[in-house]
Structure 1
């Protein structure tokens, strides 16, 4: 298998399963690729370029609309205090008006910004948007190419601590509960069911390690991401890890759907019956699947 995601600890299940040998134990030879964000890698699931990706809701909705084989296999983590806006010389949202805001379109960066707009009834016309991928945001802020950016950890901590005059303007607490999801190519999964089930079993096992042997898991994550170990532990404590598909998972996609509709970026109505593919998780851990789909 080839799988892909971004470079932050919310995707720890992938890293731990790879670094600790859980994939290999379950008979899988997995190549783990990383990109500018988890959401950016979801598009690679189209036409089975990779077999699985780990990213946010918005990426799932957009890519499922392009290829119905891009399906949600499970939720992987809840991001309790993870998203935010970092600004240089920007004390609050009012001070951000008229400034250049870095956004990584189609990722959690945009999801969080749209949630802020909705929460505080902002007018997007008051802000100047610059497309910047998350790994480039800190450097862009330091150079003065942008005045602030919407992103997630570790880019929030890195920006606020390394750029002179930068600070966290606002985080996601009380605005949105971010979540990240495991996507698979359904056609591949149905044709290679034993491997797909072994893959899901590996992620459940890796998540158990993360929750019960946190120090051991943090070493694996820090090694893969080339992050400082104390920072890795700090960031992992801001996350709730759990592989499941429940009603909160569905609600997260409904919120993302509404956000996309609000900016006319949803290419067609969501087909809730085809978006979710619980078969793999249900075979591994049936108790972790419990939801009712919204009415069309």
Structure 2
């Protein structure tokens, strides 16, 4: 228990140096050292795909907040756990992740709050195998080596899928890999199965002929959360409302224009239009403020992770709600 907390502290400290000193922007230029919150610079973390990508690319949020005296510094992360580590050490103020990363972050006492969430999107993550694999169902995963990003949304999907198949967690071998490394391992045959989310899922289907053996339907909700550091949320509730309204406005346009949105995003994130269109067509839309029901669902995930010893202590998810 002490070892896990100590390792998280080391990782967080190293990440702070990396982001503050030389984190890369999509243009390849180094960001300057993050400014303090009181100079009206907002540090937003985003991942390879999501509504925040469009807001960043079309600068609509930048323009709206500029009128209020704020500027935005954007930082890209490979997945939710890395983004939450940055939020923990104060390198960013706001960002988005799936269900599982906040659980791990709260267990490590990261000072954040849940702000808003998208509706369940069970079709947006899945367990996949190579086209010619002998694995046909979840029951065939016993004894197999499975790749996933540790602490990400798909970690919970794997837990629930194994439970559904009657397989104990220790009866499979996990290979904790970020998406790019997992894709390489998947194609080389170094892992038997891969638990992954969109748009990496759609890309694997279309370009690697990956075969889905189970998605999250009836196993996991797969919600996307928007999170804020506690101090930023306490001091800037008006800014969070502006971000909320801009995200809602943008996702409404995306839901009504998936092909156009895919064409806009493709050059921004380096993925083909067909992959992004498939991702958007099976995505759920409908941003809302976090409710007690949603927090209760998060509590169930937290409790199961504790029972499996994936987190070092019990947590109360509602301690991370906006008061």
Q: Name the TM-score class by shorter chain.
A: 0.7 to 0.9
SS at match of 1:78: coil
- Provide TM-score, normalisation by structure 2: 0.76
Equivalent position of 1:289 in the other structure:
none
Cα deviation code 1:217-243 (max 9, x no counterpart)? 333333322222232122111111222
Equivalent position of 1:197 in the other structure:
241
CA, structure 1 residues 233+163, in 2 after alignment: closer, same or farther (shift >3 Å)?
Answer: closer
Cα deviation code 1:138-175 (max 9, x no counterpart)? 211111221111111222233344447x4222211222
Cα deviation code 1:47-91 (max 9, x no counterpart)? 321111211222112212333521111103531301111123122
> Gapped runs of 5+ residues in structure 1?
279-296
Cα distance in structure 1, aligned partners of 2:308 and 2:261: 39
Equivalent position of 1:151 in the other structure:
196
Of the candidates 114, 123, 126, which is equivalent to residue 84 of structure 1?
126
Equivalent position of 1:232 in the other structure:
276
CA, structure 1 residues 97+174, in 2 after alignment: closer, same or farther (shift >3 Å)?
Answer: same
Of the candidates 223, 230, 234, which is equivalent to residue 179 of structure 1?
223
1:96·1:127 contact (CA, 8 Å) conserved in 2?
Answer: yes
1:131-142 alignment runs, 5 A limit: 131-142=176-187
Aligned length: 274
1:40·1:107 contact (CA, 8 Å) conserved in 2?
Answer: no
Cα distance in structure 1, aligned partners of 2:263 and 2:119: 19
Cα distance in structure 2, aligned partners of 1:272 and 1:126: 29
- Provide TM-score, normalisation by structure 1: 0.83
Per-residue deviation, 1:38: 2.7
Q: Which has the higher contact order (CA 8 A, sep 6+)?
A: 1
SS at match of 2:247: helix
Cα distance in structure 2, aligned partners of 1:248 and 1:274: 15
Larger deviation, residues 222-231 vs 78-87: 222-231
Equivalent position of 2:107 in the other structure:
65
Equivalent position of 2:47 in the other structure:
6
Cα distance in structure 2, aligned partners of 1:208 and 1:158: 24
Superposition RMSD in Å: 2.3
CA, structure 1 residues 171+191, in 2 after alignment: closer, same or farther (shift >3 Å)?
Answer: same
Equivalent position of 2:35 in the other structure:
none
Cα distance in structure 2, aligned partners of 1:267 and 1:176: 22
Of the candidates 12, 15, 35, which is equivalent to residue 53 of structure 2?
15
